[in-house]
Amino acid sequence: MDLGTTSLRALVVDPGGAVLGQASAPYPTAQPHTGWTEQKPDDWWQACRSALSDLRARKLLAQVRAIGLTGQMHGSVFLDRRLSVLRPAILWNDQRTAAEAAEIEERVGGRRLLTLTGNRALTGFTAPKVLWLRHHEPAHFRRLRHLLLPKDYLRLRLTGELATDVADASGTLFFDVRARGWSSEVMRLLDLDEGLLPTALESLAVSGRVTASVAADLGLPKGTPVVAGAGDQAAGAVGAGAVSPGVVMVSIGTSGVVFTAAERPAVERGGRLHAFCHAVPGLWHVMGVTLSAGGSFAWLASTLGESEERLSQMARSSTAGAGGLIFLPYLSGERTPHADPLARGAFVGLTASHGPGDLARAVMEGVVFSLRDCLELVRALRLPIREVRLIGGGARSPLWRQIVADVFGLPILGLEAEEGAAYGAALLAGVGAGLWRDVPEACRAAVRTAGRVEPQTQASRLYDDLYGRYRDLYPKLKGSFAALHDLAASVPPARAP
């Protein structure tokens, strides 16, 4: 099961790797203030029940041998001593915690934080959210006894166990990625009780079993093992077969990701890449993130009143470079490489001759330029790049695939059956249940590449030039972004007529 940003997806996979069925259910996101994003954990559970009810009606649950969990990372589920939810969960793309992120770097020290956790203190991570609760909702903080990541709330409801996995835990800033365990030092320096944290397990470990009451309610076999699973990016990498150094996974979903496995914790000196534990025991990974990738395209479609499919067709009417139009995809701030929650989206070079197709193509290209920012940092770490595999909604678009190949200057491989993080979670469940010996064996049995796209020489040259101009824009606009943020914060919201 994949607890995504907008919906839960349940996938049933057989021991041969074939997908037997799937179901999904949505849930709402609240934005009570600019830059805030929240969801109710009970909405996740109801979506889980709805999706499994659908699968049960199709007689796909009775033979389930194991469950793997994955989902959105970094979110915070605050529980009291009775395991009741204290307030809505604060999500990965919430930007309210700039002051708390700065506080963490001051308390722990920037270099020490990188050494211990492999990461800088960014607004999206879990630790700043806990400090925000302490500062802004002290009554809730006093009642706080347990902290969970989003997918692990489903584990609690399924099994009654408080647990997580090392890959997802790596994105909290409470985790020592080298030791693959919670950092007592970070918790002490932040004056937090280590008892808040759940047990952290390797992704293949059985974390608990479905309780009798839940089994009866959902139609699952009683005692079905639930493996630890992984955060969505590590699980997506398993589903894409990116489980050895040299295989780079690029994902274009709501957010965008460049991900590659490493045999050691590879920490970028400026902390511009994330260094996390992989879902594969004994491996780590580095990851760069574009916060608004497919999200930028969805925003444009909604703004123009077009479907995303129609907008993709319109983008094909434009040409490489979108007629000299550049888009900065910072609609939700940015993470890699700028780590700037105040960054804002921008079209630069707009003229009266540009139409919707040019806007659409510029958005696609701007997103891929942002992903190239991530790739260049991977190259700087001298990690091997043998092949690039593209997943996510963008992988289903021939134009997205070609733009990625041209901007990267590398061949791009698709997958024969691209099922994303849910598929990776299912493979982890299969390994945990003994269906395969290890994760590489599961990937060899189930993951197949397809649809190689070669870069076009002329377009790649054009994009190399345009990418340099793209990189020049953020430093020039950074001061304006901050000023516009302050201006927006000072203007009271408009009242409905």
Q: Are residues 210 and 247 in the same domain?
A: no
Q: How many other CB atoms are found less than 10 A from the CB of residue 305?
A: 7
78-87 pLDDT per residue, tens: 999 999 999 9
Examine the domain organization and report whether 222 and 252 are in the same domain: no
Last residue of a domain, which of 197, 229, 261?
229
Total of domains in the chain: 2
113 three-state secondary structure = helix
Q: How confident is the model at residue 55 (pLDDT cuts 50, 70, 90)?
A: very high
Q: Is 452 inside a domain boundary?
A: yes
Angle, CA of 99, 484 and 333, to the nearest 5°:
55
Residue 106 domain flag: yes
> Per residue in 73-114, pLDDT tens?
999 999 999 999 999 999 998 989 999 999 999 999 999 999
Same structural domain, 217 and 70:
yes
Long-range contacts of 192-197, Cβ-Cβ distance < 8 Å, separation of 24 or more: 192/130, 195/145, 196/130, 196/144, 196/145, 196/146, 196/147, 197/147
Residues 470 and 328 in one domain: yes
Look at residue 434 in the predicted model and tell me its pLDDT: 94
pLDDT score of 246: 93
- Same domain for 15 and 164: yes
pLDDT of residue 490: 82
Q: Quick one: pLDDT at residue 416?
A: 86
Number of Cβ within 10 Å of residue 193's Cβ equals 11
* 234 domain residue, yes or no: no
Same domain, 323 and 373: yes
Which candidate, 403, 413, 385, 380, places its Cα nearest to that of 460? 403
Residue 118 shares a structural domain with residue 61: yes
- Point out the least confidently predicted range of 17-21, 295-299, 413-417: 413-417
Q: Are residues 117 and 245 in the same domain?
A: no
Structure tokens at 189: 């320096």
User: What pLDDT shows up at residue 88?
Assistant: 98
- Mean per-residue pLDDT of the chain: 94
Same domain, 225 and 245: no
Where would I find the H helices in 137-278? 138-143, 150-159, 166-169, 184-189, 212-218, 232-240
Annotated catalytic residues are 232
Question: Which residues is 182 bridged to in the sheet?
Answer: 175
Residue 235 lies in a domain: no
| 218 lies in the same domain as 263 | no
Write out pLDDT tens, residues 381-424.
999 999 999 988 888 899 999 999 999 999 999 998 778 899 99
| pTM of the shown model | 0.88
197, 337: one domain = no
CA pair distance 472, 486, nearest whole angstrom: 23
Residue 495 has pLDDT above 80, yes or no: no
Torsion region of 58: left, alpha or beta (phi above 0 gives left; psi -120 to 50 gives alpha): alpha
- The answer to whether 303 touches 445, Cβ cutoff 8 Å, is no
DSSP assignment letter at 263:
S
Residue 437, both tokens: 């010996």
Residue ending a domain, among 169, 200, 229, is 229
Confidence class for position 118, pLDDT limits 50, 70, 90:
very high
- What share of the chain has pLDDT > 90, as a percent? 87
131: Cα within 13 Å, side-chain hemisphere: 27
Residue 58 lies in a domain: yes
pLDDT at 71: 96
Q: Quick check: 436 pLDDT over 90?
A: yes
pLDDT of residue 493: 63
Taking each helix axis from N to C end, the angle separating 420-432 and 232-240, rounded to the nearest 10 degrees, works out to: 80
How far apart are alpha carbons 277 and 449 in whole angstroms? 25
What pLDDT score does 492 carry?
72
User: 239-290, pLDDT tens digit by residue?
Assistant: 999 999 999 999 998 889 999 999 998 888 888 999 999 999 999 999 999 9
CATH number, position 76: 3.30.420.40
Of residues 224 and 489, the one with the higher pLDDT is 224
Cα dist from 264 to 239, 268, 283, whole Å = 21, 12, 7
The CA distance from 470 to 139, in Å, is: 46
In 343-409, beta strands by DSSP E: 346-348, 385-391
Q: Residue 456's pLDDT is what?
A: 96
Q: Do 214 and 290 have their domain in common?
A: no
Binning pLDDT at 50, 70 and 90, where does residue 488 land?
confident
Q: Which amino acid is at 412?
A: I
* Phi, psi of 39, rounded to the nearest 5 degrees: -140, 155
- Say if residue 485's pLDDT is above 90: no
205 within a domain of the structure (yes/no): yes
The number of angstroms, rounded, from the C-alpha of 252 to the middle of its chain's C-alpha atoms is 10
- The model's confidence at residue 68, banded by pLDDT at 50, 70 and 90, is very high
Residue 236 belongs to some domain of the structure: no
The pLDDT score that the predictor gives to residue 497 is: 52
pLDDT value of position 236? 92
Q: Given pLDDT bands bounded at 50, 70 and 90, which one contains residue 341?
A: confident
Residue-range definition of the domain harbouring residue 37: 2-229
Tokens representing residue 365 in the block = 């290209």
Q: Which residues pair with 70 in a beta bridge?
A: 2
Residue 494 has pLDDT above 70, yes or no: no
**Of the residues 178, 197, 229, which one is the last residue of a structural domain?**
229
**Res 288: pLDDT:** 94
Q: φ and ψ at 467, to 5 degrees?
A: -65, -40
Is 318 a domain residue?
Answer: yes
pLDDT value of position 91: 97
Neighbouring CB atoms inside 10 A of 329's CB total 29
